[in-house]
Amino acid sequence: MSQTKIVVIGGVACGPKSAARARRRDPHADITIIERGDLLSYAGCGMPYYIQGVIETTDELMSTAAGAVRDAAFFDNVKAINVMDRTLASGIDRKRKTVEVVSVETAEKSEVPYDKLVLAVGADALAPPFPGVDLKGVYRLNSPHDADKIKDAMLNGCKHAVIIGAGLIGIEVTEALAAHQLSVTIIEMMDSVVPAVLDLETSAQLERHLCCNGVNVMTQTKVQSLQGDDTGQVNAVITDRGSIEADMVLVAVGVRPNTKLAADAGLELGITKAIKVNEYLQTSDPDIYAGGDCVENINLISGRPAYVPLGSTANKHGRIIGDNVTGGKSTFKGVMGTVVFKAFDFNVGHTGLSEKECVKLGIPYVTAITPGPDKAHYYPTSQSMVLKMIASPDTGKLLGVQAVGEGDVVKRIDVAATAITCGATVEDISGLDLGYAPPYSSAVDLMAHAANVIDNKNCGLARSIRASDLKQMMDSGEDFLLLDVRGAKEVEARPWNNPKVVNIPLGALRSRVDELPKDREIITFCTVSLRGYEAQRVLDGEGFTRVRFLDGGVAGWPYSLDQE
C-alpha cells in the first residue's frame, strides 16, 4: 500500500493539530512535523498565567489533560508521527515536492519529500523602530523560554516594569507583574487600551480598572528609545512625554504573519499580507495547505479578508487541514474575531464588528450601552458589567458585542458569537429562551436588555446620546440641561458634580415637569439609563421636543463625574 507523505511545517498549534487529525483519519500515512524550536504543541495563551504563578511549570502548558507532555517522543509513541525539532524549513521546491531543511544545531542540510504540505508557521513579533531593544532586560513573549526569562527577572530584583503595547498580551502580563508587587506602566501609542478589540466606551472602563489596580496607563504616547546603563541593562524608557524608570521592558506591539517561506515558493499572499487560502485552507498550490497565524481569513459579517491571529482559530484550522490532506472536503467559513481575556477582576470580551470597524467599512449601525448585573441584582454574588451592542438600523441584524466588568462577560460573548453566526436580529436576541435562575442570570438578561434598547431606537421610541458626544458638548460649552432622575440616596452615593445637572427623581417628574425649560436641550440619565429612557418618554408626552437620554447612564460614563 502506497503511503501518503504528509509534511507539516510548524509544531505549536495548527501544525500538531493537523498532524494528529490526519493520523486519526489515515493510520498508514507517513506524517512528519518540522519545527525550528525545541518545544512542541504548547499553549501560548497560558504563558501570562505561568509568569503570574497561577500555573506552576511550563510543562503544564505542553501537557495533555491526562498529564503527558507533548514532546517528540510523545508524538512518535502515541501518534506515530515523526518530529524533526530544532530543524528549520528553509525552502520549498514545488516542482519536485520537497522541503529543504537545515539542522539548527549542526547546520546540516537535507530534503524531505511530500505529497501534501502544511504550512503552520505562525507569526513573528513586530520589531519596534526605536533603538535599545537589544538591551538586557528587554523581553518579548513568544515562547515558554521567554516566559521563563521574564519570570526569573521578576522574581530576582526587578521593581519597575514597562509594557510597550496595550494589546492582549500586554494587558494579561500586566496583571502577572502587578501581582508580584512590581510597579507597572503600560505605554500605548493609540488613544485607548486594546484598540484593535474595544471601542471607547468599553476600553475606558478597562483603563479605569487598570488604574484602580495601581497600573500607570499612558495612551497616545510614543516610545522614542530605550536607555541602558554602563552594563547594557535597560534602566529607562524615553517617550514623547518624558522618561520612565524601568529595569524590565516587555515589547508587545503586535505580530505579523510569517510568510517568507510561502512567498519564496511563489504562493499567493492576500491583501492583509498573510497567506491567501480558500475555504478548504488550500494555498494557490492545491497540494499545499496553510493555517493558523500565518493565514488570512474571511470576516463572516463583512465578507472581507481579515487577519485575526488566535489560538482557537489555529486549532480549528488544524482539524480541517487534517481532514483535507487525507482526502476530506471540510471547509472553514471564516472568523468573527471573538476575543475574551482577564484583567485583574475584570472580564473582557468582544465578538463581531466593533463600531470602529463599521465606520471603516462603511456599514450603517446603531449602538446600545447597557450596564447591569450578570445575575439577579438581589442575589449576593451578582457582579456588574457594561455591555455594548452593535446592530443594523435597517434590519436589526446583530453586528457585534463587547462587554467588560466583574460579571460573567464570557457567557454573553459566547451567546452573541453564536447569534451572529446564525444571522440573528435584535428581535431574535430578545426572544432567546436563555436559562434563568437568580444564581445564574436575571429574568431579562443583559443581552436582551441591549437588544430591546436597539429595537426601541430603530422604531423611533428611544433617542440617546453617547458619552463621547456629550463630553464634546460639555467641552465646547454648549447650552443644555442634564436631568438626573435618580433617587436621593443614589445621588448622594455617586453625585455628578456639574452645574448643568438638575435632580428630579423619576417618580416626581410628572408633577414637577413645569420646572424644566422646553426651549433647552435636555439630556436625561440615571444609573444605567433605563429610567433615563423612561424620563425621555415622559417628557416626549409633555410636549418636549429636544430630549435624549445618556446611553449607559452613570455606570457607562467613562469619564470623571467631577465638574466638567
C-alpha span between 145 and 122 (Å, rounded): 17
Q: pLDDT at position 553, please?
A: 95
- SS3 state of residue 338: coil
C-alpha span between 185 and 71 (Å, rounded): 37
Using DSSP, how many helices (H) and how many strands (E) does the chain show? 16, 30
The ranges of the chain annotated as CATH 3.50.50.60 are 5-42+55-122+256-324, 138-253, 345-458
C-alpha span between 193 and 195 (Å, rounded): 5
C-alpha span between 208 and 348 (Å, rounded): 13
For 345-458, which CATH superfamily applies? FAD/NAD(P)-binding domain (3.50.50.60)
**Which position has the grid cell 474571511?**
298
Q: What angle do CA 235, 240, 241 make, to 5 degrees?
A: 80
**Which position has the grid cell 413645569?**
514
C-alpha span between 496 and 477 (Å, rounded): 17
pTM for this entry: 0.93
Using a 10 angstrom Cβ sphere, with 0-12 exposed, 13-18 middle and 19 or more buried, the burial of residue 181 is: exposed
CB 481 within 8 A of CB 522: yes
Q: pLDDT at position 129, please?
A: 87
Q: pLDDT at position 563, please?
A: 58
The ranges of the chain annotated as CATH 3.40.250.10 are 464-550
For 138-253, which CATH superfamily applies? FAD/NAD(P)-binding domain (3.50.50.60)
Q: Which of 290, 294, 281 is nearest to 330 (CA)?
A: 281
DSSP secondary structure string for all residues of 278-307: -TT-B-SSTTEEE-GGGB-EEBTTT-SEE-
Question: Average model confidence (pLDDT) for the chain?
Answer: 95
So which residues are the catalytic ones?
A: 45
For the chain, residues with pLDDT lower than 50 are none
**Which position has the grid cell 445621588?**
491
Q: Which fold has domain 464-550?
A: Oxidized Rhodanese; domain 1 (3.40.250)
Query: Is the Cα dihedral 448, 450, 456, 461 positive or negative?
Result: positive
- SS3 state of residue 503: strand
Q: Which fold has domain 5-42+55-122+256-324?
A: FAD/NAD(P)-binding domain (3.50.50)
